[in-house]
Amino acid sequence: MQLALFIIFGALAVAGALNLLLQRHPINSALSLVVVMMSLAVLYWSLGAEFLAAAQVIVYSGAIMVLFVFVIMLLNAGKEEKTTGSRAAYIAGFPGAAAIFCLLTFVFLSEQKALGVANLGGHLNSGLNNIEELSRVLFTKLLLPFEVTSVLILVAILGAVVLARKEDQ
């Protein structure tokens, strides 16, 4: 089952990345990047890194992509023409989405291992919680770099807004 998940979502990530490069409109490219990020989250989950998969969805697929779309709209990349959509997307999209949903439902329901439990030294269910240990390290030993990174991201956003601002003429 893990091999099937890897093949399906690895191919989906590669297809999304190729679509990202081949799109002419920046919004379509951003949506293709969301597909890549979500596929990577499923790959992380299948490797047993549940926290990393959740962070991938929340941080990258959520926050960073909202920032990308905001910058695209702020830069006013050009007028979008209205289209009815791709016929291939309608033909392959609904059955593909249904198949992925059914596959993920089967995997989630048949999974026997507890989520969020580390497998250290081959002892499953050793009682060490991945998320608890990661948060303990992140918010004690690595608190200063974590906060400095947030301030740097905030400064970068403010700099992008100032640089993209149009001057009054």
Number of residues written out for the chain: 169
Give the pLDDT mean for 22-46.
Answer: 86
* Residue tagged 């007028």 (tokens): 79
Place 39 in a pLDDT band, splitting at 50, 70 and 90: very high
Pick the residue with more confidence: 1 or 55? Answer: 55
Closest Cα to residue 51, out of 147, 145, 128, 115? 115
CA–CA gap between residue 144 and residue 67 (Å, rounded): 24
Give the pLDDT mean for 50-61.
Answer: 82
Spell out the domains of the chain, with CATH numbers in brackets: 2-164 (1.20.120.1200)
Phi/psi-derived region of residue 78, left when phi > 0, alpha when psi is between -120 and 50, beta in every other case? left
Place 18 in a pLDDT band, splitting at 50, 70 and 90: very high
Task: Give residues with Cβ within 8 angstroms of 91, minimum separation 6.
Answer: none
Inform me whether the pLDDT recorded for 5 exceeds 70. yes
CA–CA gap between residue 149 and residue 43 (Å, rounded): 26
Are the C-beta atoms of residues 21 and 33 closer than 8 Å to each other?
no
Per-residue pLDDT tens over the stretch 89-127: 777 778 888 887 887 777 777 765 544 444 444 444 555
Look at residue 129 in the predicted model and tell me its pLDDT. 66
